Amino acid sequence: MPLLRIEKPDDEARLTDWQHVHNVIVPPAALSLDDVGERVRRNRLEVAYLGDVLVGCTTVRPPAEDGGTATVIARVLAAHRGRGFGEELYARGLDQARELGAETVETVVLAANEAGLRFARHHGFVEIDRYVLPGETAEWVDLRLA
């Protein structure tokens, strides 16, 4: 399998790439570039490329307190799925969550994203909640690593 080049989104081009992947995969929660800039200050974000081709992105939300729960989200654009890139991104995110002291790892998936739900369940996550945010119509699924 070709190696991914994984980078922190530390300039506008990489922030825009992270935003693109996020917005394509979770359109009900589309973010502005300002939103992404705010997220990069409080979460660990990464962008993945195969050569110069954008493949995916990750988010690791650190635990709020030592030993708490971290959220790990790996996103891979549809054209690049089924090639092990999600595995690599997820493993990196899980390692980061553990480095941050997380005792519990969760993820959140748009309920309509059947591939994302299958991926999470295949990797040992179990559903703990389904909800619709106030004023919205999209259903979300919270899952916890068992």
What's the pLDDT at 47?
98
Taking the model in full, what pTM does it have? 0.93
- Please give the pLDDT value at position 64: 85
Residue 111: inside a domain: no
The first and second tokens of residue 5, run together, are 């080049």
Is 143 a member of any domain? Answer: no
Of 79, 78, 5, the residue nearest 46 (C-alpha): 5
119 assigned to some structural domain: no
Residue 72 to residues 1, 52, 134: CA-CA distances in angstroms? 23, 25, 23
pLDDT of residue 3: 86
How many domains does the structure of the chain reveal? 1
Q: What pLDDT score was predicted for residue 75?
A: 97
- Domain harbouring 74, CATH code: 3.40.630.30
Residues in the chain: 146
Of 68, 65, 59, the closest CA to residue 108 belongs to 59
- Specify the pLDDT at position 1: 58
For residue 27 the two structure tokens come to 């359109």
* Structural domain containing residue 14: 5-104
Q: Is residue 44 very low, low, confident or very high in pLDDT (cuts 50, 70, 90)?
A: very high
32 — pLDDT class (breaks 50, 70, 90): very high
